């Protein structure tokens, strides 16, 4: 959450942010131990279970509501509740598990699940519940209808983003003017809690760069969250136009954050085109600067 200029919020689990925003809107008390439960599709082989590239599923609202009601009936008396939560799937309430590390769903794509199992003291409880969820979903009527339509079945709900008990801090005035563009439900929740301005993500950066009404202030910051986008589209529609702004001196820097990498580019990087780089985005900036120079 560093991009939102709220370092204290970075100490909060994603599930805590979602649950706190939900409870605040409903005027209720947030659950103290929420987890994110994301619908996933697995491919079972002879010796291993594999997460395909399209393993993360986003359910229509009607299907999410149906699963939540079915969960309430099947797991009655367990102390657990499943609430629809937009693009991330669901928030699972009542699961008191600490000291466990779990990968986020995006890191599972194209991987063998045996290499990405929960780790830590609470891992056994998490694995046991995941197995129960898989058995519940295995022959679920919703899955049978999805298969008839040729859609990927819901193999399980991947439990992640919980287990951290930090409470969400009170809103504070950010040190810089922040404009957030996102369609990710947990980022929207964070913006609401921190009282940050937010808008939906447009299809391309140029549509933002050409609107004076949302032009970035000299001391300001844009935070654009692109979830589920194709890498080629990100480079073409976002990185390249913004790199051109860096080269022109309109912006001071571009920070690109992924699940496990961070890259910071500035206008000065155009003078480093002779350096070898294994990062295609850094190479893109160098190529862009050379082309810009030839065009002048």
Based on the fold, state whether residues 39 and 138 are members of the same structural domain: yes
The answer to whether residue 184 is domain-embedded is yes
pTM: 0.69
The answer to whether residue 11 is domain-embedded is no
The answer to whether residue 51 is domain-embedded is yes
- Residue ending a domain, among 160, 188, 219, is 160
With beta carbons less than 8 A apart as the criterion, state whether 119 and 182 touch.
Answer: no
Angle at the Cα of 272 from the Cα atoms of 269 and 273, rounded to 5 degrees: 110
The answer to whether residue 148 is domain-embedded is yes
- Residue ending a domain, among 133, 160, 187, is 160
Q: How far apart are CA 239 and CA 281, in angstroms?
A: 8
The answer to whether residue 167 is domain-embedded is no
Based on the fold, state whether residues 195 and 250 are members of the same structural domain: yes
The answer to whether residue 108 is domain-embedded is yes
Provide the residue-wise pLDDT of the chain in tens; the chain has 296 residues: 344 444 455 556 788 888 888 888 888 888 888 999 999 999 988 888 999 988 999 999 999 999 999 999 999 999 999 999 988 899 999 998 878 889 888 888 889 998 899 999 889 999 999 999 999 999 999 999 999 999 999 999 999 988 755 566 565 555 556 677 777 776 777 777 677 777 777 778 877 776 654 445 545 566 777 766 777 888 888 888 878 877 777 777 777 776 666 777 776 665 554 444 445 444 444 433 333 333 33
Based on the fold, state whether residues 150 and 44 are members of the same structural domain: yes
List, in order, residues 6 or more apart from 198 with CB less than 8 Å away: 179, 180, 181, 182, 187, 188, 191, 192
> E strand or H helix at 70, and its extent?
helix 61-74
Helix ranges, 117-226 (H): 123-138, 141-148, 185-194, 206-209
Based on the fold, state whether residues 87 and 143 are members of the same structural domain: yes
Q: Please tell me the total count of domains within the chain.
A: 2
Q: 216, 269, 273: which is closest to 247 by C-alpha?
A: 269
Based on the fold, state whether residues 37 and 148 are members of the same structural domain: yes
The answer to whether residue 59 is domain-embedded is yes
With beta carbons less than 8 A apart as the criterion, state whether 134 and 155 touch.
Answer: yes
Backbone Cα Rg of the chain: 21
Based on the fold, state whether residues 58 and 114 are members of the same structural domain: yes
Based on the fold, state whether residues 132 and 186 are members of the same structural domain: no
List, in order, residues 6 or more apart from 244 with CB less than 8 Å away: 288, 292
The greatest distance separating any two alpha carbons of the chain, rounded to the nearest whole angstrom, comes to 71
Based on the fold, state whether residues 151 and 238 are members of the same structural domain: no
The answer to whether residue 165 is domain-embedded is no
| Structural domain boundaries enclosing 191 | 178-294
Report the half-sphere exposure of 260 (CA within 13 A, side-chain side): 6
φ, ψ for residue 35, nearest 5 deg: -135, 150
β-pairing, 197-199 vs 178-181, is parallel
- Residue ending a domain, among 160, 186, 202, is 160
Q: How far apart are CA 264 and CA 33, in angstroms?
A: 35
């Amino acid at each position: 959450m560093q991009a939102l200029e709220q370092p204290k919020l970075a100490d909060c689990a994603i599930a805590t942010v979602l649950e706190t925003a939900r409870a605040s809107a409903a005027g209720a008390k947030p659950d103290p131990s929420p987890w994110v439960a994301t619908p996933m599709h697995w491919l079972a082989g002879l010796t291993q279970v594999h997460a395909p590239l399209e393993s993360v599923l986003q359910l229509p609202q009607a299907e999410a509501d149906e699963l939540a009601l079915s969960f309430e009936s099947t797991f009655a008396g367990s102390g657990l509740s499943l609430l629809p939560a937009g693009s991330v799937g669901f928030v699972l309430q009542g699961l008191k598990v600490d000291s466990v590390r779990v990968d986020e769903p995006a890191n599972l794509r194209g991987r063998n699940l045996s290499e990405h199992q929960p780790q830590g003291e609470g891992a056994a409880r998490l694995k046991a519940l995941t197995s129960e969820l898989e058995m519940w979903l295995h022959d679920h009527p919703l899955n049978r209808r999805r298969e008839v339509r040729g859609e990927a079945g819901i193999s399980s709900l991947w439990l992640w983003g919980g287990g951290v008990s930090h409470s969400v801090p009170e809103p504070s005035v950010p040190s810089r003017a922040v404009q957030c563009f996102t369609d990710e439900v947990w980022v929207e929740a964070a913006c609401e809690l921190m009282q940050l301005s937010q808008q939906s993500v447009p299809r391309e950066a140029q549509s933002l760069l050409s609107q004076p009404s949302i032009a970035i202030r000299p001391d300001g910051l844009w935070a654009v969250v692109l979830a589920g986008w194709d890498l080629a589209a990100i480079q073409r529609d976002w990185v390249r136009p913004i790199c051109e702004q860096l080269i022109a001196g309109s912006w001071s820097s571009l920070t690109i954050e992924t699940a496990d990498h961070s890259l910071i580019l500035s206008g000065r990087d155009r003078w480093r085109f002779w350096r070898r780089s294994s990062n295609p985005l850094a190479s893109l900036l160098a190529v862009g600067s050379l082309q810009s120079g030839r065009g002048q």
